């Protein structure tokens, strides 16, 4: 699928066919958005731009030279977009190409942030002078979405802390939930750091318009605060994880303590019962009331041990 956004007078309109390139000029086109494009759509876009568009494999590489590069006629930038999938966060690469004043985006999945930006661009065409302004707007919106995700994770962390304080549902499943939230926090932090590196490289490029450097600098400041927030959230989750493990260990220790105490209480009585259970002549074994005396002795021994443990504050 291809969406071509171009100026028509004072308005911005769009076309959805690569055949429209034949009647368009490069000065009028602002944004070419490729969503899981066909080979014909991609080749037509490359011919119109006069440069190649990076493939998905290149967009997924993590080397600095692959995340941002520039040639004599274009800038190339790659970053990942995170989206929820069940309890996990998945990353999908998005490739940006800035050739002249035209922004070209290549992605495999629909993104609500792109859709909302396209609607705003059609409603307020004067705010988007060229592809560079669109690129900064996309980055700005993506950072805002990342901030929302981080805020939700902070709320989940607070809920976990509250459940621990109230000692409810502290079990292995709860520990796995904390671990999953830790994994999501690491994914978000890696994604935010990737954008920080990308924007820093863009600021070093002399081709980017100077009037947008201020907005990029503000974005870097916002990203730095998000990184600090994710670091704090991750450390808090580690603390909660250690607390849960400690509570589970204490619960298991209490159970073992009960079993040990019961064994110790019954040990003297078991010794007496074993002694009089031997098939030999024993004192008082011939008396009718001998079993009553033995039973009383066993009860007294158990009660005596209970009293000793209570006095030593071992219970």
How far is C-alpha 104 from the geometric centre of its chain's CA atoms? 28
> How many Å apart are CA 132 and CA 115, to the nearest integer?
18
> What local confidence, expressed as pLDDT, does residue 260 receive?
76
Question: Torsion-angle region of residue 189: left (phi > 0), alpha (psi -120 to 50) or beta?
Answer: alpha
Q: What is the pTM of this model?
A: 0.74
Radius of gyration for the chain, computed over Cα atoms and rounded to the nearest angstrom: 35
- Is 266 within a domain? no
Tokens of 245: 């493990």
> What local confidence, expressed as pLDDT, does residue 265 receive?
73
Angstrom distances, CA of residue 285 to CA of 151, 224, 290, 297, 301: 77, 85, 6, 14, 20
- Is 112 within a domain? yes
- Is 302 within a domain? yes
Do residues 21 and 155 share a domain? yes
> What local confidence, expressed as pLDDT, does residue 279 receive?
67
- What's the whole-number average pLDDT of the chain? 81
Report the domain count for the chain.
2
How many H helices and E strands in the chain? 8, 7
With cut-offs at 50, 70 and 90, classify the pLDDT of residue 183. Answer: confident
- Is 264 within a domain? no
Do residues 73 and 183 share a domain? yes
Do residues 203 and 292 share a domain? no
Which domain CATH number covers 140? 3.30.460.20
- Is 268 within a domain? no
- Is 24 within a domain? yes
% of the chain exceeding 70 in pLDDT: 89
The string of pLDDT tens digits covering residues 91-145 is 888 888 888 888 888 888 888 888 888 888 888 888 888 888 888 888 888 888 8
Do residues 165 and 243 share a domain? yes
Describe the crossing of helices 172-204 and 213-276 by its angle, rounded to 10 degrees. Answer: 160
> How many Å apart are CA 28 and CA 131, to the nearest integer?
11
Which has the minimum average pLDDT: 89-98, 200-209, 290-299? Answer: 290-299
Q: Are 127 and 7 in contact (CB under 8 A)?
A: no
Question: Torsion-angle region of residue 169: left (phi > 0), alpha (psi -120 to 50) or beta?
Answer: left
Range of 290's domain? 277-311
| Last-in-domain residue among 234, 249, 264 | 249
């Amino acid at each position: 699928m291809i969406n071509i956004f171009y100026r028509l007078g004072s308005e911005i309109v769009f076309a959805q066919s690569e055949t429209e390139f034949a009647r368009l000029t490069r000065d009028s086109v602002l944004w070419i958005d490729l969503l899981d494009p066909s080979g014909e759509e991609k080749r037509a876009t490359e011919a119109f731009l006069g440069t190649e568009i990076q493939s998905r494999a290149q967009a997924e590489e993590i080397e600095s030279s692959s995340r941002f590069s520039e040639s004599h006629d274009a800038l190339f930038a790659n970053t990942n977009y995170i989206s929820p999938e069940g309890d996990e966060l998945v990353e999908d690469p998005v490739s940006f190409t800035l050739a002249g004043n035209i922004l070209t985006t290549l992605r495999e999945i629909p993104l609500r942030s792109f859709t909302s930006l396209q609607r705003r661009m059609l409603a307020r065409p004067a705010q988007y002078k060229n592809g560079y302004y669109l690129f900064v707007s996309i980055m700005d919106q993506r950072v805002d979405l990342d901030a929302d995700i981080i805020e939700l994770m902070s709320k989940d962390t607070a809920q976990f802390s509250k459940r621990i304080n109230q000692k409810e549902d502290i079990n292995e499943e709860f520990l796995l939930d904390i671990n999953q939230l830790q994994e999501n926090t690491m994914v978000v932090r890696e994604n935010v750091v990737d954008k920080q590196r990308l924007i820093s490289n863009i600021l070093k490029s002399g081709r980017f318009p100077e009037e947008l450097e201020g907005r990029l600098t503000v974005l870097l400041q916002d990203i730095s605060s998000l990184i600090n927030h994710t670091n704090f959230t991750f450390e808090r989750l580690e603390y909660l994880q250690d607390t849960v493990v400690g509570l589970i260990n204490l619960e298991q220790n209490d159970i073992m303590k009960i079993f040990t105490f019961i064994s110790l209480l019954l040990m003297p009585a078991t010794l007496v019962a074993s002694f009089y259970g031997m098939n030999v002549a024993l004192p008082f074994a011939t008396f009718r009331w001998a079993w009553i005396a033995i039973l009383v002795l066993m009860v007294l021994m158990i009660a005596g041990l209970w009293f000793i443990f209570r006095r030593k504050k071992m219970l």
